[in-house]
Chains A and B, each alone.
Chain A
Amino acid sequence: MFERILNAFWVLLGAAAASYAWTLGVVGPAGPESGLFPLIAALIVMAAGIVLLLRPADGALAPDFPRGAALGRILGVIAGLLVMAIGIPYLGFAVTGAVTMIILLRTVEQTNWGASIALALVSVLVVTWLFGHVLGMVLPRGPWGW
């Protein structure tokens, strides 16, 4: 079932991209315009999606999507990365990283509190030192200056 949804998605994506590419112009006086390559690519995506939709569903492919605890773990990881992406510009890398690591260590596979906090702090410190000082990269800072 999910596969059919994905195949339909390809068709829609291809169609949308193709129509956008068309508006960019396909062929001009000097040869291909901006839209030509994306148009061809989008049409291929659409065609492939249609072929896949039309294929008889082979029962062998029944992807097992995670349920229960497994789903929880997956969502936990995604949530962790979301926290990093949202939080870094405001709280800086160090704090967001430490918080995220603690969350991941605790919730995704219950490492105990002490070890989690210790590991998170050490990791963030080492990474910040390695990238920020040794390599001289500018890591985002929070409102407290680091």
Chain B
Amino acid sequence: MDALGGLATGFAVILTPGNLYLCFLGSLIGTLVGVLPGVGPLAALALLLPVTFTLSPVGGMVMLASIFYGAMYGGSTTSILLNIPGEAASVVTCIDGHQMARQGRAGAALGIAAIGSFIAGTLGVVVMTFFAPLIAAVAIRFGPPENFGLMVLGLVCTLFMISGSTIKGVLMIALGFLSAAVGIDVVNGRERFTFGSVDLSGGIELLAVVIGLFGVAEVLSNVETMTKNTLVAERIRGLWPTLADWRASWMAILRGSGLGFLLGLVPGGGPVTASFVSYALERRMSRHPERFGKGAIEGVAGPESANNAAVAGSIIPVLSLGIPGNPVTALLLGALIIQGIQPGPLFMTQRPDLFWGIVASMYVGNVFLLLLNLPLVGLWAQLLRIPYRVLFPLVLLLSVVGTYSANKNVFDLWVMLAFGVAGYVLRKLEYDLAPFVIAFVLAPLLEQSLRQSLVMSPDGAMILVQRPVTALLLAASAVLVALMFRRKARIEGGS
């Protein structure tokens, strides 16, 4: 069935009171869950999975999917207001978003995040509507060499994110690699850097790291200079993005949408990677990269759009092929399986009502989320007027629960504390923390894909050149690195 016919079917399915209600409910829950620091779509989906047993397959899936992308809307809220990532895909939003909040521009940041998310989410679904089978056929061919090429490109983008001293940035990236190595080596099952500890054998939990480095470290920084009446933002200057903001952001939103969608498609990609790479891209493309880190609105618009587009991208492999690319889509797949449905190449033709119903629900869900989030902007901005001395204990409490929600392991709280103190100290010494986090996220995938590729290949490393997509990605990375050095040389030569 062609795309428009399918959409018609889908809308017929979704535009019933029951399904609309579930879509709205999922959007609401997703937003809420995104706002809560640490608790992300994965936790929410896992916890709400039993509820879907009592619903029809369409209803259940619509609700779960809307929670997924709803969380991408809500995740930016605490990132912007309190510098605590709502969930891992909103970490980069902290960097410039919170600075904007401190300057009283939380409203603009929140508004751009919501609208950018809407545009990106909708664009993503449009592409999904018309090109899903084609895209799926291409995505399935992505094997370890292609993944490696992509991860290298992502890592090179990380180099662009280094503000300040390059040496310190590279050191942070290397530390990210080291930290990611703690745990079980996927390729041969051996334990690395665990020193006999069972807790460490699971690796260091990403959520504990980001909540510590960004949330707790921020609290420590603020607490150092606070007084009885400190507020996060002294004055709220306007609640909506200005025209200047729009001019700055619209390209970022479009680029973020495209980038996010593509990165969402790839296994191991998804909203988290998409947000990082988008931020790096925006810095690279900006005429004034020094504005980043001080409240550049593109640093909010790009990543927030990217993580929403990535949701659409990551759902395509699940629905078209039955292949989950990240833990959240794995859970969506599990939900379908529990309902007795096995998505796969035949899913679209065997259950058009379900497939197109989900697609149509994504259009509707994005609209719901825009309508939900925009009016809340004013409300959230008021949150910043609570005296900090009352706010920060609450922030810490939420940080603890959010971190604990990842693995239900108290050990993660120690990790959070350790990274919180480390982050505080490192910030004082002018180390940029974002490269560490990106390297920490990308390193396992990069290492795994390279080693898998080398094992697979009869010619050793030549496989990286023999496969066209991989060669292309690696060449692009090399070009970017060269460009970066040329730029640095020019800047340093000129000053």
Check if B228 sits within 8 Å of A109, measured CB to CB.
Answer: yes
Check if B410 sits within 8 Å of A85, measured CB to CB.
Answer: yes
Interface majority SS (helix, strand, loop, mixed), chain A: helix
Check if B174 sits within 8 Å of A2, measured CB to CB.
Answer: no
Check if B417 sits within 8 Å of A48, measured CB to CB.
Answer: no
**Chain A residues closer than 8 Å to B193, beta-carbon distance:** 17, 20, 38
Instruction: Give the contacting residue for B43; candidates A88, A137, A140; CB below 8 A.
Output: A137
Q: Is A57 an interface residue (CB 8 A)?
A: no
Check if A127 sits within 8 Å of B398, measured CB to CB.
Answer: yes
Check if B170 sits within 8 Å of A81, measured CB to CB.
Answer: no
Instruction: Give the contacting residue for B39; candidates A38, A65, A74, A131; CB below 8 A.
Output: A131
What is the distance, in angstroms, from A85's C-beta to the closest C-beta of chain B? 4
Check if A37 sits within 8 Å of B443, measured CB to CB.
Answer: yes
Check if B174 sits within 8 Å of A127, measured CB to CB.
Answer: no
Interface residues on B, range: 35 or more
Check if B174 sits within 8 Å of A45, measured CB to CB.
Answer: yes
Residue of A nearest to B424 (CB): A74
**Chain A residues closer than 8 Å to B389, beta-carbon distance:** 105, 108-109, 111
**Chain B residues closer than 8 Å to A33, beta-carbon distance:** 188
**Chain A residues closer than 8 Å to B39, beta-carbon distance:** 131, 135
Instruction: Give the contacting residue for B413; candidates A49, A65, A88, A108; CB below 8 A.
Output: A88
* A32-B450, A44-B170, A51-B167 as given contacts; A131 in contact with B396, CB under 8 Å: no
Check if A77 sits within 8 Å of B223, measured CB to CB.
Answer: yes
Contacting B at CB under 8 A, from A72-111, are: 73-74, 76-78, 80-82, 84-85, 88-89, 93, 97, 100-101, 104-105, 108-111
Contacting A at CB under 8 A, from B397-413, are: 397-398, 400-401, 404-405, 408, 410, 413
A119 to B392: give the CA distance in the assembly, Å. 12
Check if B390 sits within 8 Å of A105, measured CB to CB.
Answer: yes
Residue of B nearest to A34 (CB): B185
Instruction: Give the contacting residue for B178; candidates A42, A48, A110, A139; CB below 8 A.
Output: A42
Q: Is B281 an interface residue (CB 8 A)?
A: no
A131 to B192: give the CA distance in the assembly, Å. 34
Q: Is B385 an interface residue (CB 8 A)?
A: no
Check if B455 sits within 8 Å of A84, measured CB to CB.
Answer: no
Check if B223 sits within 8 Å of A84, measured CB to CB.
Answer: no
What is the distance, in angstroms, from A41's C-beta to the closest C-beta of chain B? 4
Check if B460 sits within 8 Å of A84, measured CB to CB.
Answer: no
Contacting A at CB under 8 A, from B23-58, are: 33, 36, 39, 43-44, 47-48
Residue of A nearest to B426 (CB): A6
Instruction: Give the contacting residue for B428; candidates A63, A78, A84, A139; CB below 8 A.
Output: A63
Check if A41 sits within 8 Å of B181, measured CB to CB.
Answer: yes
Q: Is B177 an interface residue (CB 8 A)?
A: yes
Check if B396 sits within 8 Å of A104, measured CB to CB.
Answer: yes
Check if B390 sits within 8 Å of A111, measured CB to CB.
Answer: yes
Among A48, A52, A127, A136, chain B packs the most CB atoms within 10 A around the CB of A48
Check if A101 sits within 8 Å of B192, measured CB to CB.
Answer: no
A64 to B79: give the CA distance in the assembly, Å. 26
**Chain A residues closer than 8 Å to B175, beta-carbon distance:** 41, 45
Contacting A at CB under 8 A, from B353-380, are: none
Check if B171 sits within 8 Å of A127, measured CB to CB.
Answer: no
A131 to B399: give the CA distance in the assembly, Å. 13
**Chain B residues closer than 8 Å to A137, beta-carbon distance:** 43, 47, 405, 408
Instruction: Give the contacting residue for A74; candidates B170, B190, B220; CB below 8 A.
Output: B220
Can you list 25 A-B pairs, Cβ within 8 angstroms, ordered by A? A32-B454, A34-B185, A34-B187, A34-B190, A35-B192, A37-B443, A37-B447, A41-B174, A41-B178, A42-B178, A44-B174, A45-B175, A48-B170, A49-B171, A73-B224, A77-B220, A78-B421, A81-B216, A81-B420, A100-B393, A100-B396, A108-B223, A135-B33, A135-B44, A139-B401
Listed in ascending order, the chain A residues whose CB lies under 8 Å from chain B are: 2-3, 6, 10, 17, 20-21, 24, 30-35, 37-38, 40-42, 44-45, 48-49, 51-52, 61, 63-66, 70, 73-74, 76-78, 80-82, 84-85, 88-89, 93, 97, 100-101, 104-105, 108-111, 119-120, 123-124, 127, 130-131, 135-140
Starting from the known contacts A63-B428, A66-B224, A81-B420, 20 additional A-B residue pairs (CB-CB under 8 Å) come to A3-B429, A20-B193, A24-B190, A35-B192, A38-B178, A45-B174, A48-B170, A52-B167, A52-B171, A74-B223, A74-B224, A77-B220, A81-B216, A85-B410, A85-B417, A88-B413, A93-B401, A97-B397, A108-B393, A111-B389
Closest 3 CB pairs of A and B: A31-B454, A109-B389, A41-B177
